[in-house]
A and B are shown apart, each in its own frame.
Chain A
């Protein structure tokens, strides 16, 4: 206002003008104070008197103005003087003053939260929710929401049916802005049953016809959230669905900025409930003078709404867009055509021909984009549209973007047998190998290997060239590793190589960019907020994580009979198509996965053979079988061994030395059964494993150990081909049988599996000792997690030592191996302890009573033969026990102690 000039020097003079009767002058002085009080805190005190006086002025306008201005002066000394006037104003007879004071509490809280709590302003503010004036209610709600945002735990807005009722009444009468605050507040309430949800919905629906788009969107949020609780059989549910469409469409005729926010939200709504807008495709058609940000969003929604019914229209539109000027938009349009092809199977043919038309335009970026999407179409519909490859190859030279080049190379490699000059094409790419981006290099490597496996005779040189380029001349570890893998595969077992590299690829699914259902549900609760614009939960971008409360949709609680199965994944394909489907975003080389984990896992991995290969015979007879009936002279490829350093020499070699004494295996004689079983814990959250959630626990029953797993599919596609493998661990735990998941795991389904374990696996000391690293594979990817197993699953059932033996061993073990622990808060007596421990194969050898204390002498043996001796001292009436452990391998003591703790306390 001062045009950037600092006028703080005038402070005393301006403050002198404060006690004027001229309202405009007063306002201007107040404005000045707000700006400069902070720079002159001492002088600002001079103003306090006038403020306090003004707060008692007969004119409510002046009272409100004073309390409002005081709140804006962010000087600590002033805030102290503010409390009394504020308290008065909160109870003022004039609602205008009360509503201003409500906001002032929020201001004060921002400056000094403690003060507000100490002065009890929060309670007064809560009382204002029941105020008779709707404006006051709205402002109180707004102020409380703002305060609650900075104190997520404080539970300021404890909503109950009564307060909700008050809010709903105020909703009809307050201003548009107040309605927004109230609706946002309503959205955070969870009704107790579907009746209540419905009655709230009924009272909120009129807001959908409001002229203010923010009110409309907030109302949509409330409805979308509460709808979740309504049974789908209700008539009301259908009515509500119908009512939601028109206001959303109307939002799109507003100013472009509003459209943008609306479109981002519609994107979410369409994913959650596609039925709302399925007939409204046309409103998302792009006008050529829409701002680019609106165009891109509309395109996204068009694809989501595309279905067999409207695909012809959509394609015609997309083709039109592909000839527009804006490059980004054109690219996205071309990509959209590809997505339509993948989504609506019946349209695939038309899409491909449309793409071919576009390639004929020879516009560089259109061609490149088209090739990228055609690659995806090939993956979805293999062996169907290969006739177009010739056209694609014509455009090879014009490709200059890595993604398009990689796509083209993939196509050439994949269909090498049908392209006569595939080797020439790939060779031409190879010339500038080092200038290519990593993406292209990797793709080229794989493509040439594929080509070699398909046409071994003509392409030996090529494959050697690319392997040496990748392994010797490249600095990129990914490329080198992949090069070595192929090299080794080709040299050891070309038949296996063929199986691996040319394995049948899983189909890709149509909804590659759908938001994960759990995230989507969270975002639905944030409709109309920044989170919905970014499609990220607030925790991902709100500063410092403050004010982050995870919201979730309410479960469907039916008071009536309806017990419907939970919402299935939105916009999914017809059930028939869902088999064997993987999202495209993963690495194209999904076929490499098999290298990590063969589905049936047995004993120690590929160990020794690898070491031998390094030496001499690189090419077993295996390759000959590949060559088939070729004359011998040609079919003698000449591989050079890769540098020895790269040979993973330690692979699989058992760690014999240090822990060999751990090895003495004696299988237990199952006498007792059922040691303590911990409840299942989540080991692998769905977030980390593309939707696969694993929880589990370990059990030991009748001498056999097993791992009880619970697999839950939280992704959108079906999961198949499960396999599991353990890393080497301290006690040689390994799966005794492959992971048997009989049927494919469809979305939201859960299976329980008990995986028997043996202790015959290879041994490596882990840190901590009971750490187990597990890899689980499915058709999507390989996931890793680690878990700690309780040691008592390793206690064998014949671990009872003879008394004499016990004494001798106790003495024999040096004292420095003794460890002492306290077991606290255990209310059991000696007998109970003894019998409970026996259940988990800890045997009481002897019992003595020394000076009123019970001494239990116990023994146990681990699967690998280690004996652990224990002395447990129990004082009657004292819940703390003392446990002394003696063992030749003292590192296990700590874990045995933990086992005691778990057994005794559960």
Chain B
């Protein structure tokens, strides 16, 4: 099971350690530092590092390495999932997860970690339960606590923890009963030079914000549930019902949670909403290269594409670029060779473009690699897979809740090769 946890910042300092069993010396992290040195970038540090007596499993988030130490054969996914859960919890508690924030709240951090694991076994990882045990710090509460001498630590056993619905507390009360669902789809795609799609898939999630009194029992049905053949559910969803009727039936947790995530990979279902025309040439003879890209809409179902940004890692041989965008702003960092262009909205009548020249290292040969263009965009009010919610019903409670559904499509890892 999980022995210890070290938090390491990007400059390689261990700024927090927590041991659940016997103390493991900090020096075990030397193996991690070695691996970190070998990997050129922080992202490339391998997640599983063996040492003579321990194994180090790490995740890298918010520029912090969370390194777990294990000694026996433990499923590594279990550890990594747990580490991600720790990060999520910190974010949930403090708003952001960063070194200064963790240092400021070190007592709460320790209390939370102690509550999450016991002897390496996860104890309470649901944010609802944790928050009942240890209340998140707020200014008001700190003031009240100092005056009255009360504490952040709840002294009642969280009711939900042992019931059949551990994700929900009892006795929830709201004056405005509301349930909102966001259907968010991300497109991961690789487009090749000629503009044809090599792979494209959609990662979709339905995030919910449910604030309902009592113990409501919800059902959510879709117009086209056949789309969802590869889904992972929040534990609250009754799987049998889904198997037989393709209806989501569940008692929701209180507050924000992810109801389900799904995956659509069938090629014909994945529409590609944008195209990129590019013309990047490094001339052999002169030390100048030509650069031109244009972004335009494709299969958008009449919706506008917003928040478009283009980023590309230029080859090392590129010294500088002088470009003019038809809209938006662009930057080129001559040190990291990163070109980014903040485009904004795409107006189908006047397509945004970025043109200009690149100055290349004199005398150096043509770069071997072609830059890949990374695209970000957003489309409101559209789920690109065509998923539509049919209706939401509530049973078990008498009041009428306010319901709302929002759709959004975003670019995930959307790459265009040149």
Contacts and interface: CB of A to CB of B under 8 A. Distances in A.
B114 A27 contact: yes
B265 A218 contact: no
Interface string B186-206: 001010100000110101000
Interface in A264-316: 280, 282-283, 285, 287-289, 291-293, 313, 316
A547 B114 contact: no
Given A214-B81, A249-B263, A289-B374, A255 B59 contact: yes
A280 B20 CA distance: 41
Interface stretch (A170-178, A337-345, A700-708, A811-819): A170-178
Interface in A301-336: 313, 316-317, 320, 323-325
Interface stretch (B154-162, B284-292, B342-350): B154-162
Interface string B65-83: 0000001111111101110
Interface in B144-166: 149, 151-157, 161-162, 164, 166
A691 interface: no
Contacts of B114: 27, 31
Nearest to B374: A289
Contact of A530 (B60, B76, B107, B263): B76
B234 A214 contact: no
Interface residues on A, range: 35 or more
Nearest to B53: A543
Given A72-B119, A142-B121, A211-B234, A261 B76 contact: yes
A487 B53 CA distance: 51
B162 A214 contact: no
A72 B164 CA distance: 29
Interface in A169-212: 173, 175-177, 180, 184, 206, 209-212
Contact of A283 (B20, B77, B80, B265): B265
A68 B82 CA distance: 20
B72 A291 contact: no
Contacts of B149: 22
Given A28-B107, A107-B119, A180-B78, A257 B415 contact: no
A23 B162 contact: no
B151 A25 contact: yes
Interface string B13-25: 0000010111100
Interface stretch (B41-49, B211-219, B390-398): B41-49
Interface in A57-92: 59-61, 68, 71-72, 74
Interface stretch (A95-103, A465-473, A500-508, A874-882): A95-103
Interface stretch (A45-53, A531-539, A711-719, A791-799): A531-539
A261 B190 contact: no
B411 to A, nearest CB: 12
A516 interface: no
Contacts of A533: 48, 76
A22 B151 contact: yes
A262 interface: yes
Contact of B369 (A24, A249, A323, A543): A323
Contact of A528 (B59, B71, B77, B261): B77
A413 to B, nearest CB: 32
A352 interface: no
Contacts of A528: 75-77
Nearest to A285: B199
A392 B29 CA distance: 47
B81 A213 contact: yes
Contacts of B48: 260-261, 530, 533
Given A214-B81, A283-B201, A291-B43, A247 B230 contact: yes
A212 B81 contact: yes
Contacts of A72: 20-21, 119
Main DSSP-derived SS at the A contact region: helix
B198 A285 contact: yes
Given A23-B155, A184-B75, A530 B55 contact: yes
A211 B232 contact: yes
Contact of A250 (B74, B232, B374): B232
B229 A246 contact: yes
Given A23-B153, A257-B47, A71 B119 contact: yes
B199 A283 contact: yes
Contacts of B57: 257
B37 interface: no
Interface in A462-517: none
A106 interface: yes
Contact of A282 (B110, B192, B198, B368): B198
A135 interface: yes
Contacts of A457: none
A160 B151 CA distance: 48
Nearest to B166: A175
A257 B232 CA distance: 19
A149 B72 contact: yes
Contacts of B59: 255, 257
B190 A260 contact: no
Contacts of A218: 75
B50 A541 contact: yes
A249 B118 contact: no
A103 B369 CA distance: 55
B256 interface: no
A363 interface: yes
A103 B106 contact: no
B353 interface: no
Contacts of A287: 188, 190, 413, 415
B98 interface: no
A623 to B, nearest CB: 51
Given A23-B155, A323-B370, A209 B72 contact: no
Contacts of B22: 74
B122 interface: yes
Nearest to A257: B47
B281 interface: no
B417 interface: yes
B159 to A, nearest CB: 10
8 contacts: A72-B119, A96-B162, A210-B235, A212-B81, A253-B203, A257-B60, A282-B198, A363-B368
Q: Which 7 A-B pairs have the closest CB atoms?
A: A246-B230, A24-B151, A257-B47, A214-B77, A24-B153, A177-B122, A214-B78
Given A74-B22, A258-B80, A287-B413, 10 more contacts: A1-B107, A94-B157, A96-B161, A175-B235, A177-B78, A210-B233, A217-B75, A246-B230, A323-B370, A542-B73
Interface of A: 1, 22-25, 27-28, 31, 35, 59-61, 68, 71-72, 74, 94-96, 100, 103-104, 106-107, 110, 133, 135, 139, 142-143, 146, 149, 173, 175-177, 180, 184, 206, 209-214, 216-218, 246-247, 249-250, 253, 255-258, 260-262, 280, 282-283, 285, 287-289, 291-293, 313, 316-317, 320, 323-325, 361, 363, 528-531, 533-534, 538, 541-543, 547
